[in-house]
Structure formats: structure tokens, C-alpha cells
Amino acid sequence: MNDLTTNSFKTGKGSERFLLSFLELSLRIMHCDLKIVSCIKNTINMNVKRLLFLAIIFIASTASAQSLNKTEPQQFWDTNIQAILDADVDRVVEQSYFPMSTFEGDWSVRDFEDAFEILFDDSTLDALGKQTYRDIQAINDADGLTYMVVIVTYTEVDGELYESATILSFKKFDKDWKLYNIDMAG
């Protein structure tokens, strides 16, 4: 230690000043820490309030979106599928897009009208009648949203049960759902 420091400690004056300076600095640091802690606490409270607010808005918008998502498929079912269940060929034609892509190639309106009773026979209509809008398979791809309705029927031939499916695909054309594709499987 140099003489100044040694002399200051011996007399006590330097040590008091050092101790006071140290205490003052410590108090300033603590005061600053308290301000930082207070600032952090306020920020956390604000963030919690914001987070809570955003959570409430998110929940409300999700509930609203879910109710909207149920409405459109149900309206679709009540118009497009109900026309098929009613065997109302004219209404189904109005709600279809032509030329219609099918398992036999493209169909005109006349082709569709001629095949309607074969496509939608009693067993197909019975199977479709047991379904609801909740059975719609919604597929969202690059071309937009497609609703697929799969109608599964069973036929017994020589004691064996065969399963087949009629697959109806609908898309929006000019804001209206239209049947645009029919496929068969089985």
C-alpha cells in the first residue's frame, strides 16, 4: 500500500470516507436495482394483461369461427345434398357444374339427367340419408376448398357382401356450391 492509503487508514479519516462512499454507491445500486425490479414488475403485469386480453380475443374469435364453420356445411347439406335426397333432378342440375367430370369421362347435362336414377338408386339414397353435414370431408388444397361426400353401399351377390362407394365432389363456382365430379369405387 502506498503512504497515502496507509496514513488514511491509520487516521480513520480515509476509511470513513471510503466506507461512506461504498455505502452511498451500494445504496445507489440498490435504488437502481429497485427501480429495475419495479420496471420489470410493471412490464410483466402489462404483458400478463396483454396476454390475457389477447387470449380472450383469441378464444372469442375461435368460438365465432367454429360457429361459422358449422353453418356453411350445414347450409350446403340442406340445399345441395337435400336436393339429391329429394331426387329433384332439376335442382341438382342447377347446383351442378358442367361438363361434369365422372368415372366415365365428362358428362353433359343430358348425360347426368339420364344417369341420375342409376347413380342415386334407393340403396344410395338410403345410405346418404343416414349421413349428416358432419360427414362431409373438407379438403383445402391449392385449388381451394372441396367438399367430398362419400356414400358407401353394400350389395350381396351369391352370399358375399360387396362394398362400393359413390364419391361426390363439390366446389364453389361463382359463390355457389356445385357438384362437379362423381367417382365410383368398388
Q: In the sheet where 137-141 sits, what is the strand order?
A: 105-107, 96-102, 176-185, 160-173, 144-157, 137-141
Q: Tell me the pTM.
A: 0.62
pLDDT at site 143 = 87
What is the pLDDT confidence band of residue 20, given thresholds at 50, 70 and 90? Answer: low
106, 177: one domain: yes
Residues 100 and 161 in one domain: yes
| 96 and 166 belong to one structural domain | yes
The residue segments making up the domain with residue 176 are 88-185
In terms of residues, how long is the chain? 186
Backbone phi, psi, residue 180, to 5°: -125, -10
Does any domain span residue 44?
A: yes
The reply to whether 165 falls in a domain is: yes
DSSP conformation class of 12: S
What number is the average pLDDT over the span 15-29? 57
pLDDT of 18 above 80:
no
63 and 98 both lie in a single domain: no
Asked whether residue 115 falls in the same domain as residue 51, the answer is no
- What residue type is assigned to position 167 of the chain? I
Q: How many CB atoms lie within 10 A of CB 75?
A: 12
In a domain, 76, yes or no: no
